[in-house]
Chains A and B, each alone.
Chain A
Amino acid sequence: MSATSAPALIGSSGDSLREAFGRALSGLAETYPHLVVLDADIAGGTGVHHFRKSHPERFLQFGIAEQNMMAAAGGLAAVGMLPVVTTFAVFCLRALEQARLSIAYAKRNVKIVASHPGLDVGPDGGSAQALEDLAAFRAIPGMTVISPADPIEMALATKAVLDFDGPVYMRTGRSPCPRLFGDEHRFEIGKGQILRDGIDATIVACGVEVSRALKAAECLAEEGIYARVVNMPTIKPIDAVLLAKCAEETSAFVTAEDHNIYGGLGGAVAEVLAKTRPAPIEFVGLADRFGESGEPQELAEHCGIGSASIADACRRVIARKMHATTVRAA
């Protein structure tokens, strides 16, 4: 028999968010002696294979049994450990009620880190593409919800959530992800940043949609439309101060997320603006539909979350803003 080399893990190479998370977690293990990583037989997919290798004694295997893993994390936290639960986003939904009762309701300091969110999963298809997780976890009282945009931010967010006392749900990502930030980048839970300024509308984006939002803004600029791009890595608690400032200065919003249009980033932005400074909003996300197989980029375009869709949404929202201004003037 001839020796055959092991198959490469598809999508595991390069600058994916899960890789950045896995490497950051390994590097932080010495700083957080009570840190334990919980896995449900999918470490190669979530990026925590790095931690398994570097700190096997603190790597806890639960097998393919996410409900038990999620609730057990609550128990580990109860006795003073710092558990990081890792699995795919869709399987976090499977254990949603465990996260609700045994983590959030019990006020446990547990970090739930979900890889493979949204259409970014790609060819595995609709069954594996969690497009509801931000909404579901956002609805749990006391749960902080985070979705970083690039590997640098992912590493910073990993440290920030370990420093933070309270339950957190954080998305990583499967696909190679463009670098948006330099080493000077800062991440603070609850804070967004303006990445590109503009006056006609504000695009608020999280996760993989941030780079698409930047591309959309660039296209729009060629038409003389100046869209502001806000990176909003914390979906809950959302940066209401920054949103108010953008409402003041641009009076129109587009939200962009790799998620159902209901209940995620768009919902969070709309809730704040409706109460503080109502402004027209267009929502870029999956229009209440499931995903399907395909490569992430082509899927994004096909399902209406690519940069062209974001640009279209900007044109629409600016038209609505102009119309509202005209009506008021008349």
Chain B
Amino acid sequence: MVAAVSLRSTRSTHDPKLMARLAAAAHEIRMLSIAAIYHAGSGHPGGALSVADILAVLYGAEMNVWPKRLDDPDRDRFVLSKGHAAPALYAAGAHFRFCKAEDALTLRKLGSPFQGHPHVADLPWVETSTGSLGQGFSVALGMAMGLKLQKRQARVYTVLGDGELQEGEVWEAAMCAAHHRLDNLIAIIDYNKLQSDDTNASIMSLEPLSAKFSAFGWHVIEIDGHNLDAIVSALEEAFEIAGKPSLILAHTIKGKGVPFMENVPEWHGSVKLTRQQAEDALMALGCSTKDVARFIDVRN
């Protein structure tokens, strides 16, 4: 029998002030992602919106990494293995002061360090270059291995897309991380059930996902990836796990927060947002008119 996935929380509620800060961060990440994709004229909004809450918690509550200590060898590392969600990563970076919001709005422009997919040579705080699915997971594994060899306490966090799990390299890494007992590696799957052309189920079935990772030797925690409390609790639980890597299977909604994008396949790939669509999306996210103007009328 495969062990049942844990939905248990070490703590069901957290400091309300912290949670409010995380909610504000997630909101800002969504708005800035939409604005950046609008200004870029292309980009992947669906996967950026689905991962926003996870990034808010990682940077806002979980990871020991600060803009002024980016060369600290003991810092925690984050790798966005689903590199196409770069707008959300840049937005998180802007919110948590790794970069400036106005700079993040140069996304995908010639000469901008905010490449269509994260590039560490241009932006050191993104930790590695991703965009080819599966590789970020392996890079994160290598980082975790190296940090263990150096006997450092730092941990490595990585977010994968669900479609990304169709890459064979992911399962090579899954096997390897468990074999080497990398309990300093925490992988989070942004499980929004949709990929480039269609649903996971119609392209290439992934289920039973938690059972697969359990069978590969991972500690699996299954949560609602838009419930900030649940994300915090899952990371707390992963922190306590020794001798094996942890996987957080975060059920999410692609396009989360923008009703006309939610679960609508057309918004999942790289798209060009019209001004009206961008305004509608920002309004749907609860932007004030003033905020809409702040994001839309910015000049680079």
Contact = CB atoms under 8 A, between A and B. Distances in A.
Interface of A: 36, 57-58, 60, 62-63, 65, 67-81, 83, 97-98, 101-102, 105-107
A81 B128 contact: no
Given A80-B73, A102-B128, A75 B139 contact: yes
Contacts of B130: 101
B119 interface: yes
A102 B135 CA distance: 7
B147 A72 contact: no
B173 interface: yes
B139 A79 contact: no
Contact of B128 (A57, A62, A69, A106): A106
30 contacts: A36-B146, A63-B172, A63-B179, A67-B138, A67-B169, A68-B141, A71-B169, A72-B141, A72-B142, A75-B128, A75-B139, A75-B140, A75-B142, A75-B144, A76-B146, A77-B142, A78-B77, A78-B146, A79-B77, A79-B146, A80-B73, A80-B150, A81-B146, A98-B138, A101-B129, A101-B132, A101-B135, A102-B129, A105-B119, A106-B119
Given A65-B175, A75-B139, A102-B128, 13 more contacts: A62-B176, A65-B176, A71-B134, A74-B135, A75-B146, A76-B143, A76-B146, A78-B146, A80-B73, A102-B129, A105-B119, A106-B120, A106-B139
Given A79-B143, A101-B135, A58 B149 contact: yes
Contacts of B242: none
B121 A106 contact: yes
A65 B135 CA distance: 13
B176 A73 contact: no
Nearest to A75: B142
Given A65-B175, A68-B138, A78-B142, A106 B129 contact: yes
Given A67-B172, A68-B172, A68-B176, A102 B138 contact: yes
B119 to A, nearest CB: 7
A71 to B, nearest CB: 3
A102 B118 CA distance: 12
Given A81-B146, A101-B132, A68 B169 contact: yes
A36 B148 CA distance: 13
A133 to B, nearest CB: 20
Contact of A71 (B120, B142, B179): B142
B120 A76 contact: no
Contacts of B142: 71-79, 83
B259 interface: no
Interface string B168-183: 1100110110010000
A81 B73 CA distance: 12
* Chain B CB within 10 Å, residue with most, of A57, A62, A79: A79
A290 B179 CA distance: 37
B145 interface: yes
B158 to A, nearest CB: 10
Interface string B260-278: 0000000000000000000
A139 B59 CA distance: 37
B41 interface: no
A184 B140 CA distance: 43
A63 B127 contact: no
A83 B146 CA distance: 10
B139 A71 contact: yes
Contacts of A76: 142-143, 145-146
Contacts of B79: 75
A72 B129 contact: no
Contacts of A77: 142
B139 A102 contact: yes
A74 B140 CA distance: 9
B131 interface: yes
B145 A63 contact: no
A81 B79 CA distance: 18
Interface string B106-131: 00000000000001110000011111
Nearest to B126: A106
A102 B132 CA distance: 9
A146 B28 CA distance: 49
Contact of B120 (A65, A72, A107): A107
Contacts of B143: 75-76, 78-79
Interface in B29-43: none
A73 B141 CA distance: 9
A105 B129 contact: yes
Nearest to B79: A75
A79 B144 CA distance: 9
Contacts of A83: 142
Nearest to A79: B146
A101 B131 contact: yes
Nearest to B142: A75
B150 to A, nearest CB: 7
Contacts of B149: 36, 57-58, 81
A78 B121 contact: no
Contacts of B120: 78, 106-107
A78 B175 contact: no
Nearest to B152: A79
Nearest to B174: A68
A67 B168 contact: yes
Given A65-B172, A81-B146, A72 B179 contact: no
B173 A72 contact: yes
A40 to B, nearest CB: 10
Contacts of A101: 129-132, 135
A25 to B, nearest CB: 17
A83 B141 CA distance: 14
Contacts of A62: 172, 176
A63 B168 CA distance: 14
